[in-house]
Amino acid sequence: MKKKHYILIALFLGAAVIAVFMMSAVEELTPSDPLAGSDQLVLVVSRTAKSSSATLQMFDRTDDGWEFSFSCKAVIGRNGVGWGRGLHRDSDSIGRDPVKEEGDGRTPEGAFPLLHAYGYQPPSMVRIDFPYRQVTEDWICCDDAGSRHYNKVFDANDKGLDPDDLPSHEDMLRTDDLYKYAVFVGHNVWDTEPGAGSCIFIHLWRGPNSSTAGCTAISEEHMLTLLSELDSEKNPVMVALSRRNYLRLKEIWGLPDITI
């Protein structure tokens, strides 16, 4: 084969490698839309990744964009936020950001569906148009990473579990009333990864200067507003981000303008 043929082949292969690299780069830069299919947004933004306080705002999607519904102060994980497993892509996070793990005291960062509400009151006593279940002392949320029930909320009796030998769990009927009303956040629910975090809720707070083990907490007054606004037909999604990541992902995810 002549020398010029070798040169042409080398140039062709080089161009092919560059094309593959560019296609990969373009794919990485393609905007993701974790809010696709959702017409209701609960947006929780903290000032820094380590803050335990945040602002919760709710929006409904209209033909003109996101329409503001209400806003309130919220408290989040005692150690801030860490990227969770939800509707967003892994590439939406930054490598130096922490990743949510069981027991780390961080609220999952990212986009997550809101799946179900629980409470101490019967449904007839709650103004809500969203899946809701009254809990009893037999209801738990399993946080045992070694259990097949990990990250599930259920009646232990229905699972045939021995009440004296339950896996590690949180009682849904608590003596401190934090779960008097609670909305289950869809973190780590699909292809559940043991140890990646469990039992994430929006629930009642102990007060404006408190923090949580990884949930988002608000006052009872604002929780009742949230429950009354949640609409299952709008497929509500919760987005929790630090201010830096909100600013970075705002246009990519199509988030509303907020003041932080």
Q: In the chain, how many H helices and how many E strands?
A: 3, 13
74 pLDDT above the threshold of 70: yes
pLDDT of 31 reads 53
pLDDT band at 95 (very low <50, low <70, confident <90, very high): confident
Calpha distance 217→64 (Å, rounded):
30
What backbone phi and psi angles, to 5 degrees, belong to 191? 50, 55
Q: Which amino acid is at 8?
A: L
Q: What is the DSSP letter of 185?
A: E
15 pLDDT above the threshold of 60: no
Q: Which of 220, 176, 243, 197 has the alpha carbon at shortest distance from 74?
A: 220
16 pLDDT above the threshold of 90: no
| Interval 183-203: pLDDT, tens | 999 999 999 999 999 999 999
Percent of the chain scoring above 90 in pLDDT: 83
Coil, helix or strand at residue 123: helix
Whether the pTM exceeds 0.75: the reply is yes
The residue that leads in pLDDT, 152 or 19, is 152
Please give the angle made by the CA atoms of 175, 177 and 178, to the nearest 5 degrees: 120
**Those residues with Cβ within 8 angstroms of residue 85's Cβ, 6 or more apart along the chain or in another chain:** 100, 108, 110, 187, 188, 190, 193, 196, 197
Least confident stretch, 30-34, 137-141, 196-200, 205-209: 30-34
Calpha distance 222→229 (Å, rounded):
11
242 pLDDT above the threshold of 60: yes
